């Protein structure tokens, strides 16, 4: 081959063409905006769904007026259904293991005595936190509840016990979920999932479509270089990726009140690498696939492990080692950590770097395969 | 035969520079040899017709010339560039019009031309696109989506697009299939003007009248080049004898003649039959028994079509 030179003009020609085609293809365009919205609603609904009447066991080691008030107001909160009342821990622990109850609440012996002495006795709540979305609101409710549940009982000289930090201490043990995920994990994670899905599918179709419609023959007969065609097809979809991101971030902020501690510009900047990685996967698939159906199937073949093994569906540390190894190779895994780190922990560039380089490496490898596989001829 | 005469007058001189000069070009798909060691020389400014039955390898050959397919064997140059190693250079100077419409059906005419013009980095792009639309009479339809055009208009768009970067060599794969007679004539007019201005055109077609408008033609069947040269050379080179017979009940006569030794083709033309064979003497002997009233026999000129059908009968379909 004579030295082929990359031309930004030709790249731009492809970009312009892709934009026009994208604008004309209303269905696909609608899908690109619709998919994140639908997913947000689906998952958002799961978060919003505020499960109430969760089965609860109570261990009452102190029968007193205070215990009765507490149980009464638990029921009143509508989050807790006291299904079992027991005298000792042994009688109820297995219920939690088997998932018969979601919570076990322990009112210790000497509760009322310590309370009256102002010693701030501990109320222990053990929660089955496998599904943090299910328990989150109930836990929030009980925290609010203990602050003033005893107000009516503490009158006259006892009134001073109501002062901060309150008459009792609520101690919460989340079981089965060491990562202590909260519901806020889901919406940022969703961003990665939506991007993975749409970016790969849409670009996988992009080149396959050229071949299926016969326009590839023409494109190959022109001086357009593989890299120009690939990047030209990628750039418009990067923009779509950002539109999706902004939609999701807006919804996360205003619909689901997800905290955003870190810098949003930093997130938007770093996610470019993640978007590019997914687009590269899509383009590479399209160079292998013979038709659009195959391209679609390959995309889902990649999408499923991404969603299952990245830590989006299941806690990453809870997976078997082999699954963790596969998961570590996927860009979504690192992106989830990146987003959660920035949004929820307020991570900066330095902390984020550890999550960025695996994605960058993935991008380089896939891009190389894609350019190598892009057929310059019709053979 | 007006076009024929025209082509005779403005054909490039025999010593003109060779735009296509290839030899031994071979392409196999699996076990099947689709193009079998074909050599070809085309001069600058020439209109070169490329004919052959369906599946004979015309499209495949054109694709190898412009670097869309890699030949399995053979070498040569196209526009002075090596066809095996310099296809990037070749692509810049070749306009290729595919057999199947291959522009973007979801772009309008103007956008299609604009895209191609950008890809070829045509100077003064906007003007070039506008001129091209103007020249092909497409300006009024420039906002129409290519997918909504009729077949003939699509062909015109494709031609306009393949010309937009002022190529030196134009490869046209059945450009006039499905185009109406008037548009076809305009098309050929344009091709001849472009050729006179120095553009080399290689064109595949199944129409005999178009073949006769070419300066030179090549006939390929089942991957083999059977003959090439000017129309007159091809016709005389075939040494085909043709008799024209008229009289009563010609279909019955046709059936009787068809399998006689020395007779290759018996074709009805209006109220006459054309009987032809490769050996004049043998043919004469074969028809001798019928050379009496009520039949009237006249020796006729062999046509290009007679020659091609005869050639095709001689070659073997390598599929069988
Ligand atoms: N990509 C391919 N893979 C396998 N076989 C192919 C391929 N392309 C063409 N062929 C075969 O090569 C032979 C020649 O095809 P080609 O398209 O060159 O014929 P053609 O002369 O252009 O025919 P037509 O007049 O019908 O356009 C055919 O038998 C065809 O089936
Ligand atoms: Mg063909």
DSSP string, A301-324: HHHHHHHHHSSSSS-GGGS-HHHH
State the pTM of this model.
Answer: 0.75
Convert the pLDDT of each residue in B189-207 to its tens digit. Answer: 989 999 998 899 999 999 8
Helical (H) or strand (E) element with B23:
strand B18-29
Residue B133 has pLDDT above 80, yes or no: yes
Q: For residue A227, list chain B residues with Cβ-Cβ distance below 8 A.
A: none
Structure tokens at A345: 């922990």
Predicted pLDDT at A85? 86
Q: ipTM value of the model?
A: 0.78
Cβ distance of A13 and B102 shorter than 8 Å:
no
Q: Does residue B146 or residue A102 have the better pLDDT?
A: B146
Which residue has the CA at smallest separation from atom 19 of ligand 1?
B55
Chain B, nearest residue to A23 by Cα: B106
Q: In what order do the strands lie in the sheet with A54-60?
A: A80-86, A54-60, A103-107, A122-128, A169-175
Supply the pLDDT for residue A2: 42
- Chain A, 210-239: which have a CB under 8 Å from a chain B CB? 213-218, 220-224
Q: With a cut of 50, say whether residue B5 has pLDDT above it.
A: no
Cα(A199)–Cα(A175) distance, integer angstroms: 37
Closest C-alpha among B48, B52, B1 to residue B20: B48
What residues of chain A lie within 8 A of the CB of B96, using their CB? Answer: 218, 221
**DSSP designation for B235:** H
pLDDT for B316: 57
Question: Is pLDDT of A378 > 70?
Answer: no
Give residue B75's pLDDT. 92
What is the atom index within ligand 1 of the atom nearest the CA of B53? 25
The answer on pLDDT for A152 being more than 60 is yes
pLDDT in tens, B20-54: 999 999 999 988 999 999 999 999 999 999 998 89
User: Stretch A309-337: mean pLDDT, rounded?
Assistant: 83
The pLDDT assigned to B319 comes to 45
pLDDT the model gives residue A92: 80
How many of the other CB atoms lie within 10 Å of CB of B194? 18
- Is any ligand 1 atom within 6 A of the Cβ of residue B224? no
With a cut of 80, say whether residue A129 has pLDDT above it. Answer: no
Looking at residue A181, its pLDDT comes to 46
Q: Give chain B positions within 8 Å (CB) of A9.
A: 118, 121
pLDDT of amino acid B320: 41
The 10s digit of each residue's pLDDT in A63-89 is: 888 888 888 888 888 888 888 888 888
At B108 the pLDDT is 92
DSSP labels for B268-316?
EETTEEEEEES-HHHHHHHHGGG-STT-EEEEEPPPHHHHHHHHHHHS-
Give the model's confidence band at A247: pLDDT under 50 very low, under 70 low, under 90 confident, else very high. Answer: confident
- Gap from CA of B59 to ligand 2 centroid (Å): 4
User: Which whole-number Å values give the CA distances from B66 to A41, A104, A375, B115, in the listed order?
Assistant: 52, 77, 15, 20
Rounded Cα–Cα distance for residues A199 and A244 (Å): 10
Whether B126 has a pLDDT exceeding 70, the answer reads yes
Q: pLDDT confidence of A376, banded at 50, 70, 90?
A: low
Scanning the structure block, which residue is given the tokens 């013979």? A290
What are the residues whose beta carbons fall under 8 Å from the beta carbon of B136, sequence distance 6 or more? B156, B157, B159, B160
> How confident is residue B318, by pLDDT bands cut at 50, 70 and 90?
very low
Q: Give all domains of chain B, ordered by start, each with its CATH number.
A: 2-234 (3.40.50.300), 241-301 (3.30.70)
Listed range (A11-15, A282-286, B1-5) with the worst mean pLDDT: B1-5
The CB-side HSE value for A243 (13 A sphere, CA atoms) comes to: 15
CA angle B65, B67, B72 (to 5 degrees): 80
Q: What is the pLDDT of residue B22?
A: 93
Take atom 5 of ligand 1 and give the residue whose Cα is closest: B29
pLDDT attached to residue B121:
92
C-alpha B20 to ligand 2 mean position (Å): 19
Residue with tokens 């090439």: B228
The domain segmentation of chain A, as residue ranges, is 8-47+184-373, 54-175
Query: Which pLDDT band, with edges at 50, 70 and 90, does A361 fall under?
Result: very high
Q: How far apart are CA A284 and CA A281, in angstroms?
A: 5
Quick one: pLDDT at residue A30? 82
Q: Is the CB of B9 under 6 A from ligand 1?
A: no
- Contact check, Cβ <8 Å, A223/B88: yes
Cα–Cα distance measured from residue B111 to residue B141, given in angstroms and rounded to the nearest whole number? 12
Q: Tell me if chain B has a CB within 8 Å of the CB of A86.
A: no
Pairing of strands B224-229, B216-221: antiparallel
Question: Does residue B242 have a pLDDT over 90?
Answer: no
B121 and A214: CB-CB below 8 Å?
no
From the list B63, B66, B107, the residue facing A20 with the nearest CB is B107
Q: Pick the closest to residue A239 from A29, A379, A4 (CA basis).
A: A29
Mean pLDDT of A285-297: 88
> What is the dotted CATH code of the domain comprising A54-175?
3.40.1710.10
Is residue A122 helix, strand or coil?
Answer: strand
Q: What does the pLDDT look like over A154-169, one tens digit per residue?
A: 777 777 766 767 778 8
User: Residue B52: CB within 6 Å of ligand 1?
Assistant: yes
Q: What share of chain A is helix, strand, coil (3-state, %, to 5)?
A: 65, 10, 25
> What percentage of chain A exceeds 90 in pLDDT?
12
Top-confidence residue, B285 or A15: A15
């Amino acid at each position: 081959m004579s030295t082929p030179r990359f031309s930004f003009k030709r790249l731009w020609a492809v970009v312009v063409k892709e934009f026009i085609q994208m604008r004309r293809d209303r269905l696909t365009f609608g899908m690109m905006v619709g998919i994140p919205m639908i997913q947000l609603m689906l998952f958002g609904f799961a978060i919003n769904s505020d499960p109430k009447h969760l089965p609860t066991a109570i261990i009452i080691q102190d029968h007193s007026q205070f215990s009765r008030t507490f149980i009464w107001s638990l029921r009143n909160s509508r989050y807790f259904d006291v299904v079992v009342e027991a005298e000792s821990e042994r009688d109820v622990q297995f219920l939690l293991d088997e998932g018969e109850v979601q919570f076990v609440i322990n009112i210790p012996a000497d509760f009322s005595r310590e309370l009256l002495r102002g010693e701030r006795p501990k109320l222990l709540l053990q929660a089955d936190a496998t599904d943090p979305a299910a328990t989150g609101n109930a836990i929030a409710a009980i925290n609010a509840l203990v602050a003033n549940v005893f107000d009516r009982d503490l009158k006259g000289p006892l009134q001073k016990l109501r002062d901060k930090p309150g008459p009792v201490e609520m101690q919460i043990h989340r079981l089965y979920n060491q990562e202590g995920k909260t519901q806020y994990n889901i919406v940022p994670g969703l961003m990665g999932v939506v991007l993975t899905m749409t970016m790969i599918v849409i670009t996988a179709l992009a080149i396959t479509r050229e071949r299926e419609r016969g326009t590839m023959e023409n494109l190959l007969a022109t001086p357009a270089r593989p890299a120009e065609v690939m990047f030209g097809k990628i750039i418009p979809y990067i923009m779509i990726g950002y539109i999706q991101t902004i939609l999701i971030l807006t919804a996360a902020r205003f619909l689901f009140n997800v905290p955003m501690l870190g810098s949003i510009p930093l997130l938007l900047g770093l996610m470019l690498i993640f978007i590019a990685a997914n687009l590269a996967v899509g383009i590479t698939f399209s160079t292998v696939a013979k038709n659009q159906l195959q391209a679609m199937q390959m995309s889902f073949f990649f999408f499923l492990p991404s969603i299952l093994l990245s830590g989006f569906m299941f806690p990453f540390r809870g997976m078997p080692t082999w699954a963790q190894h596969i998961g570590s190779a996927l860009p979504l895994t690192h992106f989830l950590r990146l987003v959660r780190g920035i949004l929820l922990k307020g991570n900066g560039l330095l902390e984020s770097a550890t999550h960025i380089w695996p994605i960058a490496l993935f991008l380089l490898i896939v891009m190389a395969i894609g350019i190598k596989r892009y057929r310059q001829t019709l053979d | 035969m007006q076009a024929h005469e025209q082509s005779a007058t403005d054909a490039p001189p025999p010593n003109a520079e060779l735009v296509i000069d290839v030899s031994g070009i071979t392409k196999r798909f699996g076990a099947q040899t689709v193009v079998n060691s074909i050599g070809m020389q085309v001069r600058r400014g020439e209109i070169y017709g490329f004919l052959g039955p369906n599946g004979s390898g015309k499209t495949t050959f054109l694709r190898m010339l412009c670097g869309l397919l890699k030949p399995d064997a053979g070498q040569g140059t196209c526009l002075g560039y090596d066809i095996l190693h310099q296809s990037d250079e070749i692509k810049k100077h070749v306009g290729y019009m595919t057999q199947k419409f291959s522009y973007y059906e979801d772009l309008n005419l103007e956008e299609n031309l604009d895209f191609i013009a950008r890809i070829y980095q045509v100077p003064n792009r906007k003007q070039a696109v506008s001129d091209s639309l103007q020249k092909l009479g497409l300006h009024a339809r420039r906002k129409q989506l290519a997918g909504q055009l009729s077949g003939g208009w699509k062909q015109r768009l494709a031609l306009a697009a393949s010309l937009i970067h002022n190529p030196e060599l134009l490869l046209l794969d059945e450009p006039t299939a499905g185009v109406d007679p008037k548009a076809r004539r305009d098309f050929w007019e344009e091709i001849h003007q472009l050729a006179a201005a120095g553009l080399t055109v290689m064109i595949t077609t199944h129409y005999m009248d178009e073949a006769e408008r070419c300066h030179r033609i090549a006939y390929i069947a089942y991957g083999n080049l059977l003959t090439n040269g000017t129309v007159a050379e091809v016709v005389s080179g075939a040494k085909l004898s043709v008799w024209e017979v008229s009289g009563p009940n010609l279909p019955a006569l046709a059936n009787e003649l068809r399998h006689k030794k020395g007779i290759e083709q018996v074709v009805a033309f209006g109220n006459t039959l054309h009987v032809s064979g490769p050996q004049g003497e043998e043919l004469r002997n074969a028809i001798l028994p019928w050379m009496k009233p009520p039949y009237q026999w006249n020796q006729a000129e062999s046509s290009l079509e007679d020659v091609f059908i005869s050639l095709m009968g001689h070659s073997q379909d390598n599929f069988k």
